[in-house]
Structure 1
Amino acid sequence: MAERFARLMTGYSSAAACFVAGVVGALGFWSIGGPLPFLIGSLLGVAIFSIWLSSSWGVTPEFPALLRKGGVALVGAMIGSSLSDAGLSDVSGLTVSFLAVLPLMLVMHGVGYGLLRKLNRFDRTTAFFASLPGGIVDAAVLGEQAGGDVARISLQHLVRILLVVLTIPLLLSVWSGVPVVAIPEASTTAPPSAGLIDGAILAVLAAAGVFLGQLLRLPAAHLIGPVLIAVLVSLSGIMPLTQPSGLMAAAQLVVGASLGVRYAGIRVAEFLRSAMIGALILVLTLTIAALAAWFLHSYSPMGFETLLLSFAPGGLAELSLVAWSFGFSPILVSAHHILRIGGALAWATLVGWSGVLSQKEVKH
């Protein structure tokens, strides 16, 4: 029976099962009033399903990478289409916050590196890339090439993203006193039929943006490319666009499910240990981000909440979604995270060239 079930949980059947788990998780999280239920609820539902499936049946569920990229691209197109001429006025005076991104990245990296070395006894290379505040894929690939434990590196980054997505919306809700909305409201009113037209247009813009992002070799090309294309179309006035709520919910659900499926194969004890250490690292790094945001918000056109999202050590797409849901500028948040990720990759390359990580460790 196990073999038959394993054969069943492949390809489209596996993706469909993950999608159902994501819908159940989203509806459950929505029913209790949780923040961003279509993103966080989907992530938790699929993560629990994936861990159970792999531990109980030895089956690793699959979620099509193309579907995740499509969901991220749609998010990018909708974020870009929400920008207005008035929103561009916020871009001035950002020098201070941009200058703070790289020093903060280095401090957060040092904190995470030290704790992973001390508490988890990671070797130098694994600890370096597991605590690197960059993208999960980039950190895993570079860490594997440098001789690190790619499984531990990936797990630590997964825990980081999960904890950030879970905690940031709750913290901001408590701070602002306003619950985060499940789906951002459309910028303009439109008849129901316009939703289908706008959805089709946004899908075309998303596809064009992905092509542009890959052509220009942009970081996070499947997000930034569609953002750029949609911004140009939105500001040109060629066609006013709304963001259909159903499409936004579907995109969030897909992004959440694609994150949750990565927890397949993780042992519960290992996950809990990584989660505990990851939570400690997150408390310290978020405290650093909050202090920096509090100090700099008087010198920046960005408010404290937007600066906190810009400095937080989370995923670019996920934090952009959080920013949009709270009514903060996802464009500005994305710009700071692109700088952070680029700086992290440059820092990793520099340290790799130095040969420090390849030096033999001395046992005490």
Structure 2
Amino acid sequence: MRGLSYRVRAAVAATVTLAAGAAGGLVFAVLGLPAAWISGSLVVTIALAVANVRIDVPEWLRVPAFVVLGASMGTALTPETFARAATWPVSMACLGASVLGTMAGGTLFLTRVAGWSRETAFWASAPGAFGTVVAMAADTRADLRKVAFAQALRLFLLVAALPNVLGALGLTAGGLAPPPHVSSPWAVAMLIAVCTGTGLLATRLKVPGGLILGALAGSAALHASGASDAVLPPEMLIPAFVILGASVGVRFLGTTLGTIRAYFLASLGAFLVAVAISTVFAVIAAWLTGDDLGKLVTAFAPGALEAMTALGFALGYDPAFMSAHHLFRFAGLSVALPVAARLMFAAAEEVDAVGEEEHTK
């Protein structure tokens, strides 16, 4: 009976979460806001989390949602997309410099202005890779509550605010284009089956954002080879966007108003510093490549790989460009962060030890 009771509560929590997320997405869509179904779902879900309402998005729902998103992104890839890839090394070099700049700026702000410890500020300033960063920081002396809050707030602000800021500045690509034709149920089923396989394979191989990127690769291969011309209808995409937004909002569970009051201003300041620096490098990349500024700002935005790739897709930007740049940032962070942290804090501890030794003489 206890197991049944738990399953009932879990089902109720999932139902409340998704219903509220869908309602929030619908309101944002009616208001004509960009990326409405993602950002509306996110905002409402976070409100429930802060209100201490039990919310949840089961893993078995995330899998098909992420596969659908990746499969739909792959349908947008064309030979012209790959021809434009010749300019990507330039923008990726700018992205690498942007990552270094945002981390340095965020760390400096949080230590000098907010008074956070060096380790806490370092991990809180890492641009994206939420789960990886928190897992790495857990083995250090960093304050995990501050790290998690700063990372979660940045992701919320990017998903909820970035589309509206870009829209106000006239930098969005106009959102998703309507499907060029109506695909048969068989063609859609074949596309989803292949993308599920490639998404699960990428996940098994531990590719970051494996479900979305693996499904995108499978869909791109089918469409590039001419084996499929299927497109997914909005009836499949909208629930996937709602689930993605709610999945991000669930990360705010356990966040209280007291926590928000204690960490908000410092985290917001670090976010503004990071966005300012990443935007400067996006402008430089746009000048060097002649590419769309709104697309580069979104590609350089320091958020989670899956969420930012899907957000760029929802805004109408090239999904191959988005996924390549966010994967590049994620992979670079995963490799460089532990090395940089070890070198930085080992050196700092040595300097502190020497200083303490001289003080005692």
TM-score, normalised by the number of residues in structure 1: 0.87
Q: What's 2:239 paired with?
A: 250
Deviates more, 1:245-254 or 1:67-76: 67-76
Letter of the 1:157 counterpart: Q
Selected match of 1:109 from 103, 109, 127: 103
Letter of the 2:349 counterpart: Q
Q: What's 1:49 paired with?
A: 48
Q: What's 1:93 paired with?
A: 87
Structure 1 residues 340-364: Cα deviation after superposition (integer angstroms, max 9, x where no partner): 112222221212432616838689x
Matches within 5 A, 1:128-147: 128-147=122-141
Structure 2 portions without partners, runs of 5+: 357-361
Is 2:148 the partner of 1:159? no
Selected match of 1:208 from 197, 202, 206: 197
Matches within 5 A, 1:201-240: 201-240=190-229
Structure 1 residues 128-159: Cα deviation after superposition (integer angstroms, max 9, x where no partner): 11111131000010110224333322221110
User: What's the CA shift for 1:92?
Assistant: 1.1
User: What's the CA shift for 1:322?
Assistant: 2.9
| Separation in structure 2 between the aligned mates of residue 250 and residue 199 of structure 1, nearest angstrom | 16
Three-state SS of the structure 2 residue aligned to 1:356 is helix
| Separation in structure 1 between the aligned mates of residue 109 and residue 41 of structure 2, nearest angstrom | 30
| Separation in structure 1 between the aligned mates of residue 195 and residue 264 of structure 2, nearest angstrom | 34
User: What's the CA shift for 1:258?
Assistant: 1.0
Q: What's 1:11 paired with?
A: 10
| Separation in structure 2 between the aligned mates of residue 159 and residue 109 of structure 1, nearest angstrom | 16
Three-state SS of the structure 2 residue aligned to 1:328 is coil
Is 2:119 the partner of 1:125? yes
The answer to whether the 8 A contact 1:82-1:187 is kept is: no
Matches within 5 A, 1:1-364: 10-54=9-53, 60-176=54-170, 180-181=174-175, 184-190=176-182, 194=184, 196-300=185-289, 302-354=291-343, 356=345, 359=349
| Separation in structure 1 between the aligned mates of residue 318 and residue 172 of structure 2, nearest angstrom | 17
User: What's the CA shift for 1:333?
Assistant: 1.6
| Separation in structure 2 between the aligned mates of residue 153 and residue 133 of structure 1, nearest angstrom | 12
Structure 1 residues 248-291: Cα deviation after superposition (integer angstroms, max 9, x where no partner): 10110000111112212111132245343333223222222222
Q: Percent identity?
A: 20
Structure 1 portions without partners, runs of 5+: 1-5, 55-59
Letter of the 1:111 counterpart: G
User: What's the CA shift for 1:119?
Assistant: 4.2
| Separation in structure 1 between the aligned mates of residue 247 and residue 118 of structure 2, nearest angstrom | 30
Structure 1 residues 172-206: Cα deviation after superposition (integer angstroms, max 9, x where no partner): 2122276854xx23442226xx3x44543343233
| Separation in structure 2 between the aligned mates of residue 109 and residue 270 of structure 1, nearest angstrom | 23
Letter of the 1:323 counterpart: G
| Separation in structure 1 between the aligned mates of residue 62 and residue 265 of structure 2, nearest angstrom | 28
Say what the alpha-carbon RMSD is for the aligned residues: 2.5
User: What's the CA shift for 1:210?
Assistant: 1.9
Letter of the 1:230 counterpart: S
Three-state SS of the structure 2 residue aligned to 1:94 is helix
| Separation in structure 2 between the aligned mates of residue 180 and residue 212 of structure 1, nearest angstrom | 33
| Separation in structure 1 between the aligned mates of residue 164 and residue 349 of structure 2, nearest angstrom | 42
Three-state SS of the structure 1 residue aligned to 2:349 is coil
Letter of the 1:190 counterpart: V
TM-score, normalised by the number of residues in structure 2: 0.87
The answer to whether the 8 A contact 2:81-2:320 is kept is: no
Inter-CA distance 273–76: structure 2 relative to 1 (3 Å threshold):
farther
